[in-house]
Amino acid sequence: MGLLLLLGVFALCVIIGTPVAFALGIAALSAFWFEGLPLLVVFQRIVSGINVFSLMAIPFFIFAGELMFHGGIAMRLVKFAQSAVGAVRGGLGIVNVFSSMLFGGISGSAIADISALGSILIPVMKDKGYDADYAVNVTVTSSIAGIIIPPSHNMIIFALATGGAVSISKLFLAGVVPGILMCVCLAIAAYIVAVKRGYQAERFPGFTVLFLSFIGAIPGLLTAVIIVGGVLSGVFTVTESGAFGAMYAFVVTLLVYRSITWENFKIAVVSSVRTTSMVMILIACAAAFAYMLTFYRVPDKTVALLTGLTENPILILLMINAVLLLLGMIMDMAALILICTPIFLPVMYALGVDPVQFGMILLVNLGLGLCTPPVGACLFVGCAVGRLPMEKALRTIWPFYLAIFVALMMITFIPAISLTLPSLLG
C-alpha cells in the first residue's frame, strides 16, 4: 500500500503539472508519513543527497558550457566541420552531426547544442535549399551527443546514483566510442535522406581553408581535452577539472577569441545558476524518493519480476530498453537517472552486465527520449529554433530515430563498444 501511495502521489503530481523535483519530494514525504517514519529523516535524506563533494563539478561543467555557447565557439566548430565534410552529398546534414559531436563534447548539454548550432546551421541549411524538417530533425537528434560524449554532467549524476560503484573517469572514457558510433549512424541517415531528396554537395574549400578552420577551432576543442585528460591523468579531481575548464573557457572566449561581451557573460552566469539550481533540487528530492524505493525493496522486486518473466538475458535487456524509452518520453532525464539506476542496476548485476555499460545504455535511451513527444525538450527547442510545427518534424524524423536505435542495440549487445577504452586506459 505504501509503494502504491509513493508512486500514485508522484504520478498525480506530474499529471497536474507539478515540477518533477517537487513531485519527487512530495511523494517521498507522503510515503514517510504513511509509514510513520520521522519526517525529519526526509529532510536529512534531501540534504545528504546533495552533500557530495563530486557534485560540485556539475555547476563548473554547466558554466563552462554556457561560456562556450555564448562565447562564439560554436561558429568556429561549424566552420571546421563544414570545411572537413561539407563536400559530401547533402554535406550540411553531416556537418550538423559532426558539429554536434564536437560541440557536445565541450558543452555536455543537448539543449545548449541545439540553441548554439541550430541557430547557426538551420537558417544556413534552409538558404542552401534543404527542407526545414530535414534541418530540424538532424539538429535535434544529433544534439544528444552532448549527453554521451564526455565531459557530461549526466555521467556525474549516474555515478552518484550508483552509490559510488562506477568511477566518473571510467564513464568519461566509456562515452567516447558510443558517442562517435551514434554520430556515425546519424551521419549515414543524414546522407541517405539527403540523396533521396536530391540535395547537392557543397564545394570543397581547399586544404588551406580546412587547416585554418582547424587551427581556429583548436582552443575551443582543448576545453574537453583539458577536462577529460585532467581527470584521467590524475592531475585533477573531477571537481577541480570542472573549475579549471570553466576558467579556461573564460580565458579563451575573452582573450583568444575576444568574442564574449559583458552582456553575454551575464546571460551565461544567470543561465548556469538557473540550470544548476534545477539539477541540485532534483538530486536532493530524488535522494529521498530513492530511499523509499529501497525501503519498499523495489530493486529486489524488479529483479524477481523480470527474471520471473523470462531467463533469457536478451529479452530482459530488450524489456529494460523498452521501459527506459517509454519513461524517457514522459519524464525529465536527470530525474530518471536517479530513479531508474537503483532499480535496474541490480538487474544488470544479475545479468552480468557491467555497470559502466549500463550507464551508456541508460544515457542513450534517455537521450532519445529528449527527442520524442510528448515532453521531449530537444524536440521542442529544435522546432522553435527552426520555426517548424512539431507535427511536420515528426512525419519525417523516423530515419534518425532508427539510426539512434541501431546504435543503442549495438551498445546494448556489444559490451566492447563501451568497455574497451576504460579497460585499456582506465
Give the closest residue to 368 by CA, choosing from 333, 395, 340, 418: 333
Site of grid cell 535496474: 344
What is the distance between the terminal CA atoms of the chain, rounded to a whole angstrom?
A: 45
Q: Which range, of 97-101, 227-231, 339-343, 416-420, averages the lowest pLDDT?
A: 227-231
Cβ atoms of 144 and 127 within 8 Å: the answer is no
Kindly state the DSSP code that residue 51 receives in the 8-state scheme.
-
Q: Does residue 106 carry a pLDDT above 70? A: no
User: What mean pLDDT comes out for the span 267-289?
Assistant: 84
State the pLDDT confidence band at 14, using cuts at 50, 70 and 90: confident
**pLDDT the model gives residue 418:** 93
User: What mean pLDDT comes out for the span 169-192?
Assistant: 91
Q: Would you list the DSSP string of 133-202?
A: HHHHHHHHHHTTHHHHSSS-HHHHHHHHHTTSSS-HHHHHHHTHHHHHHHHHHHHHHHHHHHHHHTPPPP
Total-model pTM? 0.83
**pLDDT the model gives residue 182:** 93
- Cell for 390? 512539431
Q: Does residue 21 carry a pLDDT above 70? A: yes
Give the closest residue to 159 by CA, choosing from 373, 355, 333, 405: 355
Site of grid cell 547544442: 113
Cβ atoms of 421 and 178 within 8 Å: the answer is no
The whole-chain average pLDDT of the chain stands at 83
Q: Does residue 232 carry a pLDDT above 90? A: no
Site of grid cell 541517415: 189
Residue type for position 238: V
Give the closest residue to 368 by CA, choosing from 140, 50, 65, 139: 140
Beta carbons within 8 Å of 371's beta carbon, 6+ residues apart: 140, 141, 143, 144, 378, 379, 397, 400, 401, 404
| Spatial separation of the C-alpha atoms in residues 336 and 305, rounded to whole Å | 20
**pLDDT the model gives residue 231:** 74
Q: Does residue 246 carry a pLDDT above 70? A: yes
CA 372 to centroid of chain Cα atoms: 14
Give the number of other CB atoms < 10 A from CB of residue 406: 16
